Chains A and B, each alone.
Chain A
Amino acid sequence: MYHKEKSIQIKNSASALYNNLSVLRIAPRRLTYFTVVHANVVNMVSASWDGLNYSHRQLQSKEPNVATSTSLIMQAAFCVLPSRELLVITSQKGIQMYESDGSIMVYWHALDTPETPSAQAVFARGISAVWENYICVGVSSGSILVFDVPSKGSNITLSEVLEEHKESITDIASECSGSQQCIADLVSADDGGNLCVWKSGEEFQLLNKIPGFDMSCSSVKLWKGTVVAGYGTGQIRLYEAVTGILHAEVNAHARWIYSLDIAPFSGLLLSAAEDSLVRVWHLTVSQETNSVEVAHLHNECVTDTQICGARFCDGDGYAFAVTGYDLSEIIRYTQT
């Protein structure tokens, strides 16, 4: 179904972090951007579609002052809003937002870090664009910061702080950004496996809480009103977002899941885990009959690699890319 393409070499190896690959397709310029986190650096590659041109850029985590120790980056993700695209980088010290090509930093938000380290780690993790003008970022305390993003410029403001989760946020996902109306357009996941479903707006509304069973949910997606969640046990579960009804449960992987992605136009689901496997599934969601079907389509094994990031490169799922711990390349696959 898929075959391996030529890999893209990156300057450093990928770190073992959840969802450690972000992809932005820039159709007008026939380019795709990829970002991969290595410790305190984000490696950005811009790849031309004809496969002839690659350019690299590195972004560092911002330090409040030179004397402090290096701040490790937890995640880097592209946020696509109707009016603009930003690259958001979250670290132990705070949140940086750049223009999507990484050229200019437009916003910095510092986290409250205690003077001396406390037993509870401090970091930001979990990034998603929501609706027309919001970017949501999770924090290790369980809070979710909602930033209001103007259509251009750097006048980004913190609009709201959502305090619902009690454990560290692991991932945040949304659907319906600016196009259609959805009942629920945001889902957040935490270290205890708990999921919160929200409706965005001037004041975000909590629609539903789906409890975890003390098993961390490391990656989450929202599609056609269905929450797709990947867990540390290797299971994937599909819930109806607003009601919390469990539609399907898949014993998908033999180790901790690190990344999920959905190609929205085709309903293809990508899952990747520490067990070296990337799996492609097909989801059928019928909102009228309230039924969800999951079918397994394909496996790819990245030998001797614990995968940490997997993303479709386009909305149909024609191609996908994968990163692994200690691997200095982005592996690509295309449909045959």
Chain B
Amino acid sequence: MSSRTLPLLFINLGGEMLYILDQRLRAQNIPADKAKKVMNDIITTMFNKKFLEELFKPQELYSKKALRTVFDRLAHASIMRLNQASMDKLYDLMTMAFKYQVLLCLRPKDILLVSFNHMDAIKDFVKDTPSILSLVDETYRQLIEMYTSLSHGEFQLIRQTLLIFFQDMHIRVSIFLKDKVQNSNGRFVLPTSGPVPHGTQVPGLIRMFSCTGEEVTRLQFNNGGNYTAGLREGSFEMFGDRVTKLGTNMYSVSRPVETHMSGTSKSSAQHTKQVNTAPNPLAKEELNLLAKLMGGLEVQKTGNADSGFRVNLFATDEEEEEALITRPDELSYGVINIQATKDHQANAELAKIMGEFTESGHQSPSASSKGDDLLAMMDGL
């Protein structure tokens, strides 16, 4: 549908990912310098110039599986490691959060404001590092250039495209359940109260006119809800009050996040999306261009083996293991977790681009030793 959806999907999901990782890094008491490095590395990778160039090209949305691959790699762009169960949970949380934001937006154009809320928070994460800050600013500029001139109808098309992507996802998120924005069947609460969107009138008035344009009759009707007048419009500039709270950070150390896998409603289990291509029995990674680019962007690690660490999205290791075993089949993303995949030889042209990413003079230590041909790697699975 809309060929301008992918940048918004990526940036908003990325933003949610950073909120969650930030919360988990604090909750696990990871030393501040390591935590900062992880956040900086991920943000640097997210807003890499070449990557963004590819991202902003007009294109159809990726499948859930393909996009998951990109985020798998993004999450591993630094010294942090996640087990499959944690990565699954992270992705569930990210997607349900953005689905919630897209659904609850008062009007389609507000999705851009939600994106700016994420961007504002990301900017705050890296405010002490000018080099990364400039990458973030550049991304703002690209967003403004691409989206601020779009019509309301075009934004609705983007929203409809996103809603197809999120169709039938009803994973229950603890924070949403507690705040009563999600029902126990996994569906979000859509209130029939609150402010109407900017540009909309509170429903209830019928006006009838004569042929000369004079108002002849006014009638009121019961709108069945409890609406109030619209708020002012949020800012679509680099700085400003976005007005909407959607897209701001809802996590904190005291509000941990859990998802519920068991008891996902019967309907969501039965009516799984049928959009995809022929079933892939070997569950190979879909190596789309974005994922390949992401794979080559791994930021240089220090040689010290101790610097790496694992983050757990669950309260204990046992819970994490349990989650992996009990994850319902229909919720599997079908992605093989190939960590630290390097595709240096997948594509001659890409290899050239890759060369521009690795620090000058510093070939990543495993590049030559692995030098795995993509196909060979697949065959070895």
**Footprint of B on A, CB under 8 Å?**
11-13, 15-17, 38-41, 69-70, 72, 74, 92, 116-121, 123, 167-168, 170, 190-192, 214-216, 218, 232-235, 245-256, 275-277, 290, 292-296, 299, 301, 303-306, 325-326, 328
CA distance A215 to B103 in the complex (A): 20
Query: For B107, B153, B276, which residue has the most chain A Cβ atoms within 10 angstroms?
Result: B153
CA distance A12 to B164 in the complex (A): 12
Which of A12, A118, A328 contacts B274, CB < 8 Å?
Answer: A12
**What are the residues of chain A within 8 A of B224 when measuring CB–CB?**
277, 299, 301
What 1/0 flags go to B143-161 for Cβ under 8 Å of A? Answer: 0000000011110110110
CA distance A250 to B275 in the complex (A): 38
Q: Chain A nearest CB: distance from B6 CB in Å?
A: 10
B58 touches A326 (CB 8 A): no
A299 touches B222 (CB 8 A): yes
Which of B153, B183, B217, B275 contacts A191, CB < 8 Å?
Answer: B153
Query: Which residues of B, 242-299, contact A by the 8 Å Cβ criterion?
Result: 267, 271, 273-277
**What are the residues of chain A within 8 A of B227 when measuring CB–CB?**
254
B153 touches A167 (CB 8 A): yes
A167 touches B151 (CB 8 A): yes
Q: Chain B nearest CB: distance from A322 CB in Å?
A: 15
CA distance A306 to B159 in the complex (A): 13
What 1/0 flags go to B198-214 for Cβ under 8 Å of A? Answer: 01111111111101010
CA distance A295 to B218 in the complex (A): 11
A253 touches B151 (CB 8 A): no
**What are the residues of chain B within 8 A of A17 when measuring CB–CB?**
160
B239 at the A interface (CB under 8 A): no
Which of A123, A218, A232 contacts B1, CB < 8 Å?
Answer: A123
Given A253-B203, A292-B208: A16 in contact with B163 (beta carbons within 8 A): yes
B15 at the A interface (CB under 8 A): no
B167 touches A326 (CB 8 A): yes
A232 touches B271 (CB 8 A): no
CA distance A214 to B153 in the complex (A): 9
Given A119-B3, A119-B4: A216 in contact with B202 (beta carbons within 8 A): no
What 1/0 flags go to B1-40 for Cβ under 8 Å of A? Answer: 1111000000000000000000000000000000000000
B208 touches A294 (CB 8 A): yes
Q: Please provide the 3 A-B residue pairs with the shortest distance between their CB atoms, ordered closest to farther.
A: A191-B153, A296-B221, A216-B153
**What are the residues of chain A within 8 A of B277 when measuring CB–CB?**
70
**Footprint of A on B, CB under 8 Å?**
1-4, 57-60, 103, 106-108, 151-154, 156-157, 159-160, 163-164, 167-168, 170, 183, 187-190, 192, 196-197, 199-209, 211, 213, 217, 219, 221-225, 227, 267, 271, 273-277
B160 touches A250 (CB 8 A): no
**What are the residues of chain A within 8 A of B151 when measuring CB–CB?**
167, 191-192, 214, 216
| CB-CB nearest in chain B for A114 | B58
A256 touches B108 (CB 8 A): yes
B156 touches A72 (CB 8 A): no
Which of B60, B153, B160, B190 contacts A16, CB < 8 Å?
Answer: B160
CA distance A119 to B154 in the complex (A): 11
B107 touches A12 (CB 8 A): no
| CB-CB nearest in chain B for A10 | B271
A13 touches B168 (CB 8 A): yes
**What are the residues of chain B within 8 A of A13 when measuring CB–CB?**
167-168, 271
Contact sample, A vs B, 28 pairs, CB 8 Å cutoff: A17-B160, A70-B277, A116-B58, A119-B4, A121-B1, A121-B2, A121-B3, A191-B153, A192-B153, A214-B152, A216-B152, A218-B156, A232-B152, A233-B200, A233-B201, A245-B213, A248-B206, A251-B200, A251-B205, A254-B203, A254-B227, A277-B225, A293-B208, A296-B221, A299-B223, A304-B188, A306-B190, A325-B163
| CB-CB nearest in chain A for B278 | A66
**What are the residues of chain A within 8 A of B1 when measuring CB–CB?**
72, 74, 92, 121, 123
Q: Chain B nearest CB: distance from A206 CB in Å?
A: 21
| CB-CB nearest in chain A for B221 | A296
B3 touches A11 (CB 8 A): no
CA distance A108 to B157 in the complex (A): 24
**What are the residues of chain B within 8 A of A294 when measuring CB–CB?**
206, 208, 219
Q: Chain A nearest CB: distance from B200 CB in Å?
A: 5
A246 touches B271 (CB 8 A): no
| CB-CB nearest in chain A for B161 | A72
**What are the residues of chain B within 8 A of A277 when measuring CB–CB?**
192, 223-225
A248 touches B274 (CB 8 A): no
